[in-house]
Amino acid sequence: MLIRILVERPEPLAGSAVTEGNEPLRFDGWLELLAVVAELVAAAPSSDEDGDGQTDRMTRNGGADRHLRSLRSWRRPDQETRRPGMSTRRDHRGRTDAAGAGTFTLGGDRAVHRLGFGAMRLPKDRSQARALLRRAVQLGVGLIDTAEFYGPGTSERLIAEALHPYPDGLVIATKGLTHPPDRWGQPGHPERLREAVEGSLRRLRLEQIDLYQLARIDPTVPAEEQVGVLAELRQQGKIRHLGLSEVGVEQLQAAREVVPVAAVQNRYSLADRAWEPVVDHCQGEGIAFLPWFPLGAGRLTQPGGALDEVAGRHQATPAQVALAWLLARSPVMLPIPGTSSVAHLEENLAAAALRLTDDEFQLLGLDVKQTDGPIGH
């Protein structure tokens, strides 16, 4: 394959291109260009299937297949489509993309690959942030999680800058309000929640938010008032599906008496499983569970520990094994690891193809559950 790089000036690339044959592939900056050049050099063609039918087995319906095919073929209006199936040397089983994780149908009608992307740690440089988000979508990420208080507002705006108009099948999940008032300064009154939803709609350039999550149930405001106003906004078509964050089973059940709940986002990782009963409840009810801080580590990462041992067996990083463990933990688990680096994004997504044995899963599960800090990146 002939690869030609055209660079017209030393500043971040606006008109430079990599070409395959005679077809130009255009990029906004050095970071995105270099990531793709590295892939082209190391690439070996691979099919959309991972050889064991995993994608087909885990796709719930034909509509899900259609959404995911559309997502994989998405391109920016000012960019040519990249050749599918590219892989890098960091791949497991020859691929670095989200498809190996299988799919989950969120709320019964939004099929997404189970390994998503958390947009809290986007680069401060806007061109780098846009390149990172576009790379995530190119690699099959179908669920991007953000919040009004990331920035605040910056993460949502960057997502719109990078990806709008959004490809069919891409789910943007955002969170509003309401951490404890003493932290974020605004209580969860109904009028404030309405403002939060309207603000996210404007920043994301959406008419309807696929998944809107109440970041915390404010203890100073009756929970039924907070859930009730979101139910009203759902009836008005501004929210498609509702999610909750940092809730127990009883709170989840109480909310579901008011409005259907499609997802729960609680802090959870291999080393931090305080919300284990909620995971089990969500699995039983078919509710998505999005673990935030999914790479919490504890002493599992110490040399000679279980995580280090299993990572060595698979020639993987501890972070990849930790993500693979989450994916194996429950079919409703949708990890959303974040990063500010394209290289780390690709490393995380390579975990989608990593398969733990039953013995490895049990070994890791029996090790320490205390979290001291993040695994890897």
Domains belonging to the chain, first-starting first, are 89-366 (3.20.20.100)
* 8 A C-beta contact, residue 333 and residue 327: yes
CA 177 to chain centre: 20
pLDDT top residue among 51 and 249 = 249
pLDDT of residue 271: 87
296: pLDDT confidence band, cut at 50, 70 and 90? confident
* 8 A C-beta contact, residue 15 and residue 33: no
Task: Report d(CA 261, CA 149) in Å as an integer.
Answer: 22
Rg of the chain over all Cα atoms, to the nearest angstrom: 20
β-strands 143-145, 171-176: how paired? Answer: parallel
The pair phi, psi for residue 54, each rounded to 5°, is: -60, -45
pLDDT of residue 30: 42
pLDDT of residue 135: 98
184: pLDDT confidence band, cut at 50, 70 and 90? low
pLDDT of residue 76: 46
pLDDT of residue 36: 39
Task: Report d(CA 332, CA 327) in Å as an integer.
Answer: 8
One-letter amino acid identity for 105?
Answer: T
Sequence-distant (6+) residues with CB within 8 A of 6 are 16, 17, 19
**Could you give the residue numbers annotated as active site?**
150
Angle at 159 between CA 71 and CA 40, to 5 degrees: 55
* HEC assignment per residue over the chain: CCEEEECCCCCCCCCCEEEECCEEEECCCHHHHHHHHHHHHHCCCCCCCCCCCHHHHHCCCHHHHHHHHHHHCCCCCCCCCCCCCCCCCCCECCECCHHHHCEEEECCCEEEECCCEECCCCCCCHHHHHHHHHHHHHCCCCEEECCCCCCCCHHHHHHHHHHCCCCCCCEEEEEECCCCHHHHCCCCCHHHHHHHHHHHHHHHCCCCEEEEEECCCCCCCCHHHHHHHHHHHHHCCCEEEEEEECCCHHHHHHHHCCCCCCEEEEECECCECCCHHHHHHHHHHCCEEEEECCCECHHHHCCCCHHHHHHHHHCCCHHHHHHHHHHHHCCCECCCCECCCHHHHHHHHHHHHCCCCHHHHHHHHHCCCCCCCECCC
210: pLDDT confidence band, cut at 50, 70 and 90? very high
43: pLDDT confidence band, cut at 50, 70 and 90? very low
Task: Report d(CA 139, CA 91) in Å as an integer.
Answer: 12
β-strands 209-214, 143-145: how paired? Answer: unpaired
Q: pTM of the entire structure?
A: 0.75
pLDDT tens-place string over residues 142-162: 999 999 989 889 999 999 999
Reference 143, options 80, 209, 198, 78; nearest CA is 209
Sequence-distant (6+) residues with CB within 8 A of 11 are none
Query: Which pair of structure tokens corresponds to residue 252?
Result: 């989840």
- Mean pLDDT, rounded, for 333-350: 96
pLDDT tens-place string over residues 230-263: 999 999 999 999 999 999 999 999 999 999 999 9
- Range with lowest mean pLDDT among 170-184, 238-252, 332-346: 170-184
pLDDT at 56 over 80: no
One-letter amino acid identity for 255?
Answer: A
Query: Which pair of structure tokens corresponds to residue 179?
Result: 């951490």
Angle, to 10 degrees, between the axis of helix 342-350 and the axis of helix 30-42?
Answer: 40
In sign, the C-alpha dihedral spanning 230, 177, 185, 296 is positive
